[in-house]
Amino acid sequence: MCGIMGYIGPRQALPILLDGLRRLEYRGYDSAGVAVLADGRIETRKAAGKLAVLESAIADRPIAGRAGIGHTRWATHGHPTEANAHPHGDCTGRCVVIHNGIIENYLPLRERLQAAGHRFRSDTDTEVVAHLIEEALEAIPSGRPDRMEAAVREAVRQTRGAYAIVVMSADDPERIVAVRMISPLIVGLGPDETLLASDIPALLPYTRDVLVIGDGEMAVIEAGRVTLADLDGRPVARRPEHITWDAAMAEKGGYPHFMLKEIYEQPRALHETMMGRLDRDDEVTLDGVALPEDLVRRLDKVWVVACGTAFHAGLVGRWLIEHLARVPVEPDLASELRYRDPLIVGRTLAVAISQSGETADTLAAAREARRRGSRVLAVTNVVGSTLAREADDVLFIRAGPEIAVASTKAYTTMLVALQMLAIHLGLRRGTLASARAAALIGALRHLPLQAQQALERSAEVEVLARRWVGAEHAFFIGRGLDYAVAMEGSLKLKEISYLHSEALAAGELKHGTLALVTPQTPVFALATQRTVYEKTISNIQEVRARGAEVIAVAYDDDAEIAKYAQTVLRIPPTDDLLAPVLAILPLQLFAYHVAALRGHDIDQPRNLAKSVTVE
């Protein structure tokens, strides 16, 4: 996600801000900016692209001052341009804001503020905060000592979402005000200076004494001093912590690898994917998607194009769209589609899925679909990516930057995006009853917490990984949606543990592959789909009869499964259509632990790259 850095103290702020931002670069960003308090005024410099571009803009026009804030932006609202880079100012230019996360209700706020005469200079959700503070300041008498805090509190009161904001005002030059609403924010304490950052690595060269701002808390930082309060202004007492991690560990939030960090980020990422989209029980609001009524109602086909993990997400999407919206769906590996002569019949919607939005084959397939007359809807993580720019509609998965090559949080957030799309299409086409939609929406809202519960069982998975670390082959079987998850579980294991594995539709085993099953082969059987549960059990018995050991992935309330499988990895019960989001979690952890025990380079597995921009 975006990076935040702030400084107030006796030194020049600018070099410290730039150094901190550089230490946050690993999080990914597409534009950057700084604001420094200089001689009673705020000077801002911003640039699209890497920090080097910002630095050369600053070299042309340097700024001196002892308080400042800086930001690296990973675009969520509005393209990654200089105008959309933070900090954002109010109409007077005397107050600036930087922000991580999403202001969910920014659109009605922006409309109201514009109607009241506020001038907006960017497309961001962030800018509303600057104008809300400006509006609040006008209503507070100028002599009041906590005027700034009161104005920020009033702005926060009007916004919804998961975010962190940092505010600096030329009218209150001795302090910087910060609020955390879920998105992390940390204060660094020096003897006569104070720093702020969204992540610990940015602070480590300056101090190892930090104070983590809690959810719903405000920090007022002054040189060498910090005051914490809740949003009603009541003081909060907290002791600073002393950080002993080295810089590399700090970048990973204390996790040994980015992959593990990203696995554990999934509950929050899922929450962000749904944010603002599931506010009602009878509707799914998909910002960025404006499919014409006629196309939705009279769709003849949905064409899913993607590669690798994104393709596996597409297979789940196929199931859901066919089931809920009653449209035939054809999933195509993007690399294959280009070289056949696909038939486009009637009205087709192409859904191109890609975390990076830069995968060469997926881009080419989306272009081919467009050339043949399809409208293209992109499901992607990266705002401003080629796919996002070229598509007619874009559904952002909002997973945050994914650094490990093996995709985890992008997969589960793609699943939720596709589940929401399927419900949206089903409701608009009249093929999905509103009561069923409400049940699905309710179950979706539970997923972040349930994902958290599933991940808390990591210790059992680690024990299993120790047992199988020496295996040479593994199989993953399942039926229906479980088969799609089996494919993703198998890919995760292959790419980081280098253990050979294969996913099979459970009913296909006896048509050949059963010959390979031996007591040395672990067989992961996914058993979450209640309509085919008995059939899956029969397939489990087939492999058990060949001496294989079966590890099932099943719901907590499944009392039967332990009779058939030697090990059961449990997940909280949900609607079967949503089960893939939870069922993949123990499989991601298994792949991770096997690879860790084998001593592999988990974040950068051999022969693989994060973004495949060649054919």
Give the one residue of 266, 356, 574, 588 binding ligand F6R; rule: CB under 6 A.
356
How many C-beta atoms lie closer than 10 Å to residue 115's C-beta?
A: 8
Q: CA dist 32 to 3, 28, 71, 554, Å?
A: 9, 11, 6, 45
Per-residue x/- mask for ligand F6R, residues 255 to 294, rule CB under 6 A? ----------------------------------------
Q: How far apart are CA 467 and CA 476, in angstroms?
A: 17
Per-residue x/- mask for ligand F6R, residues 70 to 109, rule CB under 6 A? ----------------------------------------
Number of residues that bind ligand F6R (CB under 6 A): 15
Work out how close the CB of 116 gets to ligand F6R at its nearest, in angstroms, rounded to a whole number.
42
Which residue, 167 or 474, is less far from ligand F6R as judged by CB?
474
Which long-range contacts (C-beta less than 8 Å, at least 24 apart) are formed by 153-156? 153/218, 153/231, 153/233, 155/129, 156/181, 156/218, 156/231
Which residue, 505 or 612, is less far from ligand F6R as judged by CB?
612
How many C-beta atoms lie closer than 10 Å to residue 85's C-beta?
A: 30
Which residue, 183 or 309, is less far from ligand F6R as judged by CB?
309
Near ligand F6R in 293-332, by CB under 6 A? 307-310
Q: Kindly state whether residue 567 participates in binding ligand F6R, applying the rule CB under 6 A.
A: no
Work out how close the CB of 414 gets to ligand F6R at its nearest, in angstroms, rounded to a whole number.
8
User: Roughly what angle, to the nearest 10 degrees, separates helices 409-429 and 266-274?
Assistant: 30
The token pair at 172 is 């209150």
Which residue, 176 or 410, is less far from ligand F6R as judged by CB?
410
Backbone angles phi, psi at 351, to 5 degrees: -110, 110
Q: How far apart are CA 400 and CA 184, in angstroms?
A: 13
Whether 337 contacts 363, CB under 8 Å:
no
The token pair at 316 is 């789940």
Which residue, 27 or 71, is less far from ligand F6R as judged by CB?
27
Q: Is 535 a known active-site residue?
A: no
Near ligand F6R in 395-424, by CB under 6 A? 406-407
Near ligand F6R in 488-527, by CB under 6 A? 491, 495
Catalytic-labelled residue, pool 2, 252, 307, 409: 2
Work out how close the CB of 170 gets to ligand F6R at its nearest, in angstroms, rounded to a whole number.
43
Work out how close the CB of 402 gets to ligand F6R at its nearest, in angstroms, rounded to a whole number.
8
Nearest to 3 by CA among 183, 169, 144: 183
Give strand pairing partners of 45. 34
Q: How far apart are CA 88 and CA 81, in angstroms?
A: 13
Work out how close the CB of 461 gets to ligand F6R at its nearest, in angstroms, rounded to a whole number.
18
Q: Is 409 a known active-site residue?
A: no
Contacts of 565 (CB under 8 A, 6+ apart): 525, 527, 540, 550, 551, 552, 554
Give the one residue of 355, 413, 501, 536 binding ligand F6R; rule: CB under 6 A.
355
Work out how close the CB of 307 gets to ligand F6R at its nearest, in angstroms, rounded to a whole number.
4
Break the chain down into helix, strand, coil percent, rounded to 5.
Answer: 40, 25, 35
Which residue, 89 or 605, is less far from ligand F6R as judged by CB?
605
Where along the sequence are the contacts to ligand F6R (CB under 6 A)?
307-310, 354-356, 359, 362, 406-407, 491, 495, 611-612
- Residues noted as catalytic: 2, 610
